[in-house]
Structure 1
């Protein structure tokens, strides 16, 4: 089994189902308790210049927590790709979203189809040898902006993930995009420290 299939099968499995169940509840409150800022506030800070009717895709949308917050913030043209069927069933309870079963390694949309393509805690679960493949797909399907919120480290660093190896990495994902596509421009970036420890995440907005 190659590592790309290993990652996909892992998140399609019971482990992915359990992850979906853990990620319920008030997502803004979770952000406030974890980082001291709500996701709504971060969205407003990073997407202030994005029209509310812009076509936005989340790669790895899970149960659509992020899409629901964007919807509450006035964004009306929201799309998601997700490989876990249990998560997708929950996400589809909001009939206003355009959701498809699929992988970030092969996003089932045309080139430049979306104004914004984003991930939130997804690239951290991509094996380093496969990272460029999902970066290429995000770049390909974005007409304008690439947006991310991921664990941050200056160098790629594997972390044990609930007793599993080869499933979680910290990295400088902003630089991964810039190294792959040097023409990308950094619109905004922000390091966000956890309240409970010294770990740091990074949110970044890049423009083609």
Structure 2
């Protein structure tokens, strides 16, 4: 069995449990509905979705509101968060590391939101490969952006948060991916804030 990275152990344990308790509420869901409404305007015929790094299911909650008939799947390392997400009743959430998730079928959209920033940088290409293999058509990355890799101290912890051009790296790795849409949501948005998220929607193109 593969040993977990330092980052995975961090999120699997007490800090991850505290994150689950801290991030909840109707305001989060409302902001996520607004966010995914914007993203999905640039998509067509999305009937299945996979989220790598689901946490308690706030993103899947919003997506179910917007696409009530969509087949929703998630992957979550933290057992407490995974249990809460599965209790939503409309998504199948697999417990474990996104690096170990067995991709048995593709979905119309695969995505991460605030997850790649917390991964060990040397394993990012494996995370990109999981996103790529899992998607039939669209890939969404919603993370902190920086044109060059940089580490940021996270709630008093080192080695737990990194900013970089995640989407650009995926576009370089997979030539058939094309950037379809991108945007930014400010943490001080007066109606539907997000935590300074930069999002990039990519689409697979044959040939």
Give the TM-score range, shorter chain: 0.7 to 0.9
Partner residue of 2:95? Answer: 101
1:58 matches 2:54: no
1:92 matches 2:49: no
- 1:2-24 deviation line (CA, Å, top 9, x unaligned): 99621221111111111111111
Q: Measure, in 1, the Cα distance between the counterparts of 2:117 and 2:154.
A: 11
TM-score of the pair, normalised by structure 1: 0.87
Q: Measure, in 1, the Cα distance between the counterparts of 2:64 and 2:19.
A: 23
SS of the residue corresponding to residue 118 of structure 1 reads strand
- 1:25-58 deviation line (CA, Å, top 9, x unaligned): 12xx2488xxxxx322221221123335x11000
TM-score of the pair, normalised by structure 2: 0.87
1:78 matches 2:72: yes
Q: State whether residues 125 and 168 of structure 1, in contact with CA within 8 Å, keep that contact through their aligned partners in structure 2.
A: yes
Q: State whether residues 102 and 108 of structure 1, in contact with CA within 8 Å, keep that contact through their aligned partners in structure 2.
A: no
Q: 1:192 to 1:179 in 2, by over 3 A?
A: same
Partner residue of 1:17? Answer: 17
Partner residue of 2:182? Answer: 189
Q: Measure, in 2, the Cα distance between the counterparts of 1:137 and 1:4.
A: 17
CA RMSD of superposed structures (Å):
2.1
- State how 1:151-162 maps to structure 2 within 5 Å: 151-162=144-155
Q: State whether residues 154 and 172 of structure 1, in contact with CA within 8 Å, keep that contact through their aligned partners in structure 2.
A: yes
- 1:38-85 deviation line (CA, Å, top 9, x unaligned): 322221221123335x11000000000000011111243111000100
SS of the residue corresponding to residue 155 of structure 1 reads coil
Q: State whether residues 4 and 130 of structure 1, in contact with CA within 8 Å, keep that contact through their aligned partners in structure 2.
A: no
Q: State whether residues 106 and 137 of structure 1, in contact with CA within 8 Å, keep that contact through their aligned partners in structure 2.
A: no
Partner residue of 1:7? Answer: 7
Q: Measure, in 2, the Cα distance between the counterparts of 1:172 and 1:161.
A: 19
Structure 1: 4+ residue segments shifted above 6 A: none
1:201 matches 2:193: no
SS of the residue corresponding to residue 181 of structure 2 reads strand
User: Cα offset for 1:107?
Assistant: 2.1
Q: Measure, in 2, the Cα distance between the counterparts of 1:123 and 1:57.
A: 15
Partner residue of 2:108? Answer: 115
Q: Measure, in 1, the Cα distance between the counterparts of 2:33 and 2:197.
A: 16
Q: 1:73 to 1:161 in 2, by over 3 A?
A: same
Q: 1:187 to 1:101 in 2, by over 3 A?
A: same
Partner residue of 2:192? Answer: none
